[in-house]
Amino acid sequence: MKKKLRILALLSLTFVAVHGESCKNDTTEKIKLEVPSADAPPLTWQEHWFEHKQLVKRVYYDDNVAVYYDDAVDKNITWPARKMEDIWKYVKKTYGTFGKEGRLYVILHSGKYGGGHPATYFDESHDYRNVIDVGQAGLWTDSTGWNLGATAHEVGHIVEGGSKNVHNSPAFPIWGDSKWMEIFQYDVYKALGWNDAATSLFAEMQTKHDDFPVAGAQWFRNWFYPIYNEHGGTATLNKFFDLLAKNFPKNGNAYSRNMNWGEFVHFWSGAAGVDLKAQATLAFGWPAEWETQFQQAKKDFPAISYK
């Protein structure tokens, strides 16, 4: 369906004419916009979570995204609308719908907060919207480096915490704040043809070490990338969440508990279609406790099978 842009009459909005991979020094042109429909996102939004108390203002919206800036962000910066829409459309195509409205709300801050957080359409705290809220000490001038990485990272949290119409992320205590995001971002960049960003991320991950579950673990290099590269790519990432939604314990529309390591490897083996115990051993070691959990997971979740 042809995209319809909606905004208040008599207001103007700048939008970049060329959809390039990076957008330092964006050039903009005026475009004609239509009178809004009843489901238009609000013009302003009063933050009321954590330390966030800003009245942010809408600078762009369409059927997929709504973008809000605080007063310190240059309103002429337009790449977040384009990049976040591209990412969000890919997310919905890959992982399914995210709530009735299905929009991604993007809130950006300059000179404050120094990091980001997500919320999903399940979360009352953010008015039941899919939200990424990101602040930094610097500027949002271009769509490279940290600017792109931080915003894409937060979208990945929405996927893990709200896909398949189920709330929570049972794997979060295992992979923590960044490990799933690394393969999620790499897949997004590759799928959207952002090859410079994908190449840069891949190179960074070759030397990155983590402290969990063992010192020096290399999650991307020894766990996620081999699974992704050798056992199905994007489809395998999505299948993991499919298997969770169909098989893991729930209380209503939310997961009722977290996974243990044996269950984690069992479910990823089901997604990949191959026993990943050897890969897990290479990446993290294989304590006796995990072996016990792994064997129990096979009994508890027999519908998940693999060679």
Chain segment 68-108, per-residue pLDDT in tens: 999 999 999 999 999 999 999 999 999 999 999 999 999 99
The total of other beta-carbon atoms located within 10 Å of residue 155's CB is 22
Q: Do the beta carbons of residue 159 and residue 241 sit within 8 Å?
A: yes
What local confidence, expressed as pLDDT, does residue 39 receive? Answer: 84
SS3 210: strand
φ, ψ dihedrals at 121, nearest 5°: -65, -10
- pTM of the predicted protein model: 0.88
pLDDT at 11: 29
- Residues 222, 280: Cα–Cα separation, whole Å: 8
Per the CB < 8 A criterion, the answer to whether 265 and 277 are in contact is yes
Q: How far apart are CA 158 and CA 246, in angstroms?
A: 19
So what's the pLDDT on residue 102? 96
Q: What pLDDT, on the 0 to 100 scale, is given for residue 114?
A: 86
Is 106 in contact with 84 (CB distance < 8 Å)? yes
Q: What are the angstrom distances between the C-alpha of 185 and each of 35, 156, 199, 227, 280?
A: 35, 7, 11, 15, 21
Q: What is the pLDDT of residue 307?
A: 72
Q: Which two tokens stand for residue 163?
A: 């896909």
Q: What is the reported pLDDT for 178? A: 86
Residue 286 exposure: Cα atoms within 13 Å on the Cβ side: 14
Those residues whose C-beta lies under 8 Å from the C-beta of residue 177, and which sit 6 or more positions away, are none
User: From residue 276, how far is each of 118, 248, 284, 300 by CA, in Å?
Assistant: 30, 19, 12, 18
In this structure, what are the phi and psi dihedrals at residue 18, rounded to the nearest 5 degrees?
Answer: -110, 130
Prior bond of 173 cis (ω within 30°): no
**Using CA atoms, how far apart are residues 105 and 120, in angstroms rounded to an integer?**
10
Compute the chain's Rg from CA coordinates.
20
Whole-number pLDDT of residue 14 = 29
The alpha helices in 163-276, defined as continuous H runs, are 172-175, 179-191, 195-205, 219, 225-230, 234-247, 261-272
In whole angstroms, give the CA distance from residue 136 to residue 109.
6
Q: Is 122 helix (H, G, I), strand (E, B) or coil?
A: coil
Cβ distance 184 to 156 under 8 Å?
yes
Rounded to whole angstroms, the Cα distance separating 209 from 219 reads 8
CA atoms within 13 A on the CB side of 225: 17
Q: What is the pLDDT along the chain (307 residues), one digit of tens a residue?
A: 434 333 332 223 322 222 333 333 343 333 334 445 668 999 999 999 999 999 999 999 999 999 999 999 999 999 999 999 999 999 999 999 999 999 999 999 999 998 999 999 999 999 999 999 999 999 999 999 999 999 999 999 999 999 999 999 999 999 999 899 999 999 999 999 999 999 999 999 999 999 999 999 999 999 999 999 999 999 999 999 999 999 999 999 999 999 999 999 999 999 999 999 999 999 999 999 999 999 999 999 999 999 7
